Amino acid sequence: MRTVYVNGDYLPEDQATVSIFDRGFLMADGVYEVTSVLGGKLIDFAGHSRRLTRSLNELDMASPVEMDELLEIHRQLVARNEIDEGLVYLQVTRGAPGDRDFVFPDPETTPSTIVLFTQAKPGLAGDVAAKKGIKVISIEDIRWGRRDIKTVQLLYPSMGKMMAKKAGADDAWLVEDGFVTEGTSNNAYIVKGGKIITRALSSDILHGITRAAVLRFAKEAQMEVEERSFTIDEAKTADEAFVTSASSFVMPVVEIDGVTLGSGKGGPLALRLREIYLDESRKMAE
């Protein structure tokens, strides 16, 4: 049985509880992070903790722990659960005021709730799935306007994955005014004439931690990067496409709305970037 962390305690998962009045449960008033683990070490913890701080600040939510303490909790969970490859999920909510009320509770009397747990994913960094790539469908992006905040409000992304599954695909790309914003749980890219194209950062998309690292590594490897919006039609004529996220790293996209890209297998540039990302990230893991 897993050991999880809840509000200061390490507990067996079946003994960890959160109040029914928790605002995460009642109002999706919470933020989260997912940090991957490779070789028992955390990938880009610094990036994830920085984004957590930003999400909390944007929502005027108190941080329940200091960031160095957070690193220690992550490490403890990885060690106690003997995670070699997998991820650590973290969630902070605005706590449980003991009633339901739209007005934010006073943080002095209602502390934030913090929960962390691990998920073992043996073979996470293996390249079998990456070589095959994933198929995506496009759906309308009807999410709220602050997608740069990593909130637990994941109903529409979840519905998007179900629409994809029903259509025989693996995931969905979200489209607004004809332009791709991002994937349901990842950032979206196309490759044209050797150039990597991805939407620029704004409140339209989550500022992916993997995105930042991948773009940095791409530039270091002399690859050309263009941060601009692209339409779903342009994507269908691209040489390659891929997505990035903490749990999928760099994952090639081989089909969009039934249109096959390139050879129909993971594209060479995406696969090379995946290799570079995994190598470099492992070196810096902590």
Do residues 261 and 242 lie in contact, with contact meaning Cβ atoms separated by under 8 Å? Answer: no
**C-beta of 93 vs 185, nearer to ligand PMP:** 185
**SS3 per residue for 199-256:** CCCCCCCCCCHHHHHHHHHHHHCCCEEEECCCEHHHHHCCCEEEEEECCCEEEEEEEE
Choose the binding region for ligand PMP from 22-30, 134-142, 159-167, 204-212 (rule: CB under 6 A).
204-212
Q: Is 93 in the site for ligand PMP (CB under 6 A)?
A: no
Q: Pick the catalytic residue from 131, 135, 150, 165.
A: 150
Strand partners, 255: 135, 260
Closest approach of Cβ 193 to ligand PMP, in Å? Answer: 25
Torsion of CA 71, 73, 78, 80, to 10 degrees: 150
Q: Is 182 in the site for ligand PMP (CB under 6 A)?
A: yes
**Of 244, 251, 261, 274, which one interacts with ligand PMP (CB under 6 A)?**
244
**C-beta of 96 vs 197, nearer to ligand PMP:** 197
Residue with tokens 């909130």: 151
Instruction: Kindly report the number of other CB atoms within 10 A of residue 10's CB atom.
Output: 14
C-alpha separations of 92 from 9, 49, 111, 115 in Å: 15, 12, 10, 7
Q: Is 187 in the site for ligand PMP (CB under 6 A)?
A: yes
**C-beta of 83 vs 96, nearer to ligand PMP:** 83
**Of 55, 93, 186, 281, which one interacts with ligand PMP (CB under 6 A)?**
186
Give the tokens for residue 78: 């990885």
Q: Is 49 in the site for ligand PMP (CB under 6 A)?
A: no
Do residues 119 and 228 lie in contact, with contact meaning Cβ atoms separated by under 8 Å? Answer: no
**Of 175, 246, 261, 271, which one interacts with ligand PMP (CB under 6 A)?**
246
219 is catalytic: no
Q: Is 209 in the site for ligand PMP (CB under 6 A)?
A: yes
Q: Is 171 in the site for ligand PMP (CB under 6 A)?
A: no
**C-beta of 149 vs 191, nearer to ligand PMP:** 149
Burial of residue 88 (CB within 10 Å: 0-12, 13-18, 19+) is buried
Choose the binding region for ligand PMP from 53-61, 160-168, 209-217, 224-232 (rule: CB under 6 A).
209-217
Q: Is 175 in the site for ligand PMP (CB under 6 A)?
A: no
Closest alpha carbon to 235 in 265, 205, 276, 198 = 198
Closest alpha carbon to 120 in 32, 36, 231 = 36
Q: Let me know how many helices (H) and strands (E) the chain has, helices first.
A: 8, 15
**Of 206, 251, 253, 271, which one interacts with ligand PMP (CB under 6 A)?**
206
**C-beta of 96 vs 214, nearer to ligand PMP:** 214
Closest approach of Cβ 276 to ligand PMP, in Å? Answer: 15
- Residues at the site binding ligand PMP, with contacts judged by CB under 6 A: 34, 182, 185-187, 206, 208-211, 244-246
Q: So which residues are the catalytic ones? A: 150
